[in-house]
Chain A
Amino acid sequence: MSSVAHLPQDPLPIGPRPAPRALGGHLTAWLRANLFASIPSGIMTLLLLFVLGKASIALWQWGIANAVWIVSGSDSSACRALRGVGACWAVVPEKYRFILFGTYPFDEQWRPALAVVIFIALFAVSSRRSFWRKELFLLWAAALIAIGCLMWGGFLGLTFVTQDRWGGLPVTLILATFGLAFGFPLGILVALGRRSKLPAIRSLCVLYVELIRGVPLISLLFMASVMFPLFMPDGVNIDKLLRAQIAFILYAGAYLAEVVRGGLQAVPRGQYEAADALGLSYWEKNALIVLPQAIRHVIPPLVNTFIAFFKDTSLVLIIGIFDLLTTAKTAIVDPAWQSFSVEVYVFVGVIYFVFCFAMSRYSRGLEAQRGTN
């Protein structure tokens, strides 16, 4: 007893031992641990370095050393002389206005450019957790209306531009954003409908989701472009872009419904029961208690669905709507620049990549945040 009393009350913890001293310098230690840990690993490293070196040299020579960056007066002869030896990046400054904005009137192209800026600002604002409030819905509505006004015009001295002249990046962003803005509420309703107690509603929702998810998007787009007009009364002629937009909304709704349903399943039963006990109605219960929790659970898969959806908008190429990929493909129909499609595809590839990469980084960041919470 007394011996215990002599011990210090709060013994100091023993500090961590210093890390074992690496053999050689810092760099050699790292190389040894990560690249030459064993003989097979070392052979693999050397092999990869060899292949990587060869590929880099070839790419450097084609893409930078021998490339043509600029030509005067849209004359592609300098490029054609170097065909197969060097890249012709001159095609990008030559065609970028058409690739980005399609056949939108040339002098008015600041309007789609501004629309793109609004889109990007909208995405940036929506990605901040501190902005996840009710006001965000109003902001979305305001931004989408502003974009519509900018693109159509027809007031305040802005000339009216019909949808068939829209093209390029704004069309891609419009298809994706409006598809999500309307597809997301639809998806939520369908997800709730799949868990409904009414068999008619439940089976209707199951049928819708499984039918849309079971067929390729192209067949839906074909349906929108050739079958839809057959179902309309005489004289009603809905614009092609709008028809494709409806197809996209239906498509997004089905996929998002499945993601939201996953989130609904993760909400504990007690939450539903507690809401019922408080006497909330069905809609109050879902809007105030269940959905906020359910959606918070599935934000990373939701962002992944957004990425897939953004990429899928490029499929409108097949039904002849001028999105970013279609304008790129059309830009190189010009005989003078016909043989430089690779350069143009690299250019639009970079644009798509920037958007998708930003979203996938964001999704990963959210997942990491959730992991630490």
Chain B
Amino acid sequence: MVAIAVAIVAWLWSNAVHNLSVRRISTGFAFLGREAGMPIADSWIDYSPKNTYLRAFIVGIVNTLRVAVIGIVLATVIGTLVGIARLSSNWLLARLAAVYVEVLRDLPLLLQLLFWYVLMQGLPAARQAWKPVEGVFLSNRGLILPSVPLDAANWWTILALVAGLVVLHLVRRRLIAQQMLDGKARPAWPYALGLVIALPALVSWLLGASWSITLPELRGFNFVGGLTLAPEYFALLIALVTYTSAFIAEIVRSGIQAVPRGQSDAAKALGLKRSFVLQQIVLPQALRVIIPPMTSQYLNLTKNSSLAVAVGYQDIVSIANTTLNQTGQAIESIALIMMVFLTISLGISLFMNWYNARIALVER
């Protein structure tokens, strides 16, 4: 059996070598060092068509991660809200949430993506942009938001905030460990105030960071200043977030329903506060049911971000596809796509498995 498999692979390989030599395509990744000559409209890192293919691939990876990470965060938030809304005692809210889930789940993602993209293109031109709030423009150029220019001082402040959050987390764990010993509840808010608000504020003041908001302005036919979400990116983000949030809503709903009612009833009977019951009794038990299927939704969202190629958002798949057409390096381009996605999938799986192991019920 193994011999047959080896023979088939060898036969395919000899065919490939022959075909490549007929088409004068050299194998290997040497093409990555050549000039790409491919324009990329929407990039977060410096890039021009004079750069190499390698650089273009890195831009593609950044673009994929940009849509995947923001998509995962938004889909989790919206999905959780919709999932809770489905369990609401308010009949209208629960019905609406159910319709949201049912409609979005039963339509192909690609159809939804094309639909949103067509709607984006149908928006008025920049001059007649739709302006829901001051500084926010929605036009066929995409969504333009006010932004804060970030200098070194701003970054240090953000770093201080992150460090404060990490320390706060450690402090809370310590406080809970102490409470486990003597049963006395110790408030965490003074630490929160100091670490999350006072510390970043101090850093910001010392370094003289400026937090002035730049409002976008219409000049001629386009916008100047502010943060622009290109229509391709925006359509892809909406489609991924709404589609995935419908699945996440169902996961959250079944997770909450999996916690027996007796648990929250017993907690209430003990006289615990409502917020405490949710945070300390229901959620930890629901999370154990929620995390594994949530992981596969995150992986799905990341893989689905490859549909970007259908609307021309230049993610890794789209750039690899262009490279393939320009150079004919089919095997290498597709291998690169697969490597990137396998790495991302592996990363998400490892992180979620670690998190799952941490919150899993410890059984004796």
Contacts and interface: CB of A to CB of B under 8 A. Distances in A.
Interface residues of B, number: 49
Given A222-B321, A230-B19, A216 B341 contact: yes
B306 A216 contact: yes
Given A34-B91, A45-B90, A318-B310, A311 B109 contact: yes
Contacts of B122: 84, 339, 342
A307 B110 contact: no
B253 to A, nearest CB: 14
Contact of A37 (B15, B89, B307): B89
Interface stretch (B131-139, B207-215, B283-291, B330-338): B330-338
Contacts of B309: 218, 318
Which secondary structure dominates where chain A touches chain B? helix
A219 interface: yes
Interface stretch (B111-119, B145-153, B155-163, B189-197): B111-119
Of the candidates B1, B90, B317, the one having the most CB atoms from chain A within 10 angstroms of its own CB is B90
Given A35-B92, A204-B5, A230-B331, A219 B108 contact: no
Interface string A344-359: 0100110011001100
Nearest to A353: B106
Contacts of A214: 338, 341-342, 345-346
A34 B90 contact: yes
Contacts of B346: 214
Contact of A360 (B13, B91, B105, B111): B105
Contacts of A99: none
Contacts of A215: 303, 337-338, 341-342, 345
B342 A317 contact: no
Contacts of A318: 307, 309-310
Contact of A342 (B12, B118, B337): B118
A227 B96 CA distance: 46
B102 interface: yes
- Chain B interface, >50% SS class: helix
Interface string A311-351: 11011011000000100010000000001011001001100
Interface string B4-37: 0100000011011011101000000000000000
A341 B91 CA distance: 35
Contacts of A353: 103, 106-107
Contact of A227 (B1, B90, B91, B331): B331
B2 interface: yes
Contact of B107 (A201, A222, A311): A311
Nearest to B121: A341
A364 to B, nearest CB: 11
A219 B307 CA distance: 10
Interface string B276-320: 000000000000000000000000000110110110000001000
A287 to B, nearest CB: 20
Interface in B71-105: 89-93, 96, 102-103, 105
Contacts of A136: none
Nearest to B17: A230
Contacts of A35: 90-92
Contacts of B92: 34-35, 44-45, 48-49, 52
Contacts of A204: 5
A136 B141 CA distance: 54
B317 A218 contact: yes
B115 A219 contact: no
Interface in A25-61: 34-35, 37, 41, 44-45, 48-49, 52
B165 interface: no
A357 B114 contact: no
Contacts of B91: 34-35
Given A214-B345, A219-B317, A222-B321, A349 B337 contact: no
Contacts of A84: 122
B115 A345 contact: yes
A223 interface: yes
Interface of B: 1-2, 5, 12-13, 15-16, 18-20, 22, 89-93, 96, 102-103, 105-111, 114-115, 118-119, 122, 303-304, 306-307, 309-310, 317, 321, 324, 330-331, 334, 337-338, 341-342, 345-346
Given A217-B303, A227-B331, A318-B307, 17 more contacts: A34-B92, A37-B90, A44-B93, A48-B92, A48-B96, A84-B122, A200-B2, A215-B338, A216-B341, A218-B309, A218-B317, A226-B324, A230-B16, A231-B15, A342-B119, A349-B111, A357-B102
